[in-house]
Amino acid sequence: MSKGIVISPDKCTGCRICELTCTFYKHDNFNPKDAAISVLEFYDVGLQVPMTCLQCDEPHCATVCPVGALEKDETTGVVNYDREKCIGCKMCVSACPFGNMTYSPRLKQVIKCDECGGDPQCVKLCPSSALEYKELDSNLERRKNFASYFKEVFGEVTK
C-alpha cells in the first residue's frame, strides 16, 4: 500500500496556506499560480476544497506524454514529472480529467504535485488538518471522502 494526501473539505478554512507553502518550497516564491495544490471556492454553499493531483492508478497524463516526462513510480504510487524530458506540449494538462495539472508560462514547466518526495509540505503547515498524508487503499479512500462530503453539502445527485 502507498501513502498519499487525503483531503477533508469539511475542515478547510480557505486560508490558502497550502498554496503558498507549495510555491515557496518548490519555486522559492509566494505565487499561488505556481502551486501544485489549489483551493477551489464554492461561495454559494460556503465551501473551500483543496485539490491536487490524485496520483491516479492509471494516469492519463503519463499515457499521453510523447516523451515520457511523466512516469508513475509503482513503489510510491506517485506520478513523477521530469522537467528535463518535458517539451512543453501541455498534452498532460489537457489529459488530466480533474484539471489538477497546470502549465506555468513564467516557469516554463508543468505544475504537478509530487507529494514533495514523501514529505508534503502543504500537509505539515495546514492549520486546520484538512490535509493528511497517510496510507491509502488505492484512491478509494480519497474518492469516498469527497463523495460523502459533497453528498452532505449538495444532496443526492440524480439523473
- Ordered by where they begin, the domains of the chain are 3-154 (3.30.70.20)
Q: Please state, rounded to an integer, the average pLDDT across all residues of the chain.
A: 90
Residue entry with cell 516526462: 69
CA torsion through residues 136, 22, 8, 39, sign:
negative
Nearest by Cα to 110 from 67, 75, 74, 73: 67
| pLDDT tens for each residue of 124-159 | 999 999 999 998 875 555 566 666 666 676 666 544
Check residues 44 and 36 and name the one with the higher pLDDT: 36
- What is the 8-class DSSP label of residue 158? -
How far is 145 from 122, CA to CA, in rounded Å? 19
Average pLDDT rounded to a whole number, residues 40-63: 93
Report the C-alpha gap between 119 and 102 in whole angstroms: 22
Q: Give CA–CA dist 17/19, Å, rounded.
A: 5
Question: Is 83 a residue whose pLDDT tops 60?
Answer: yes
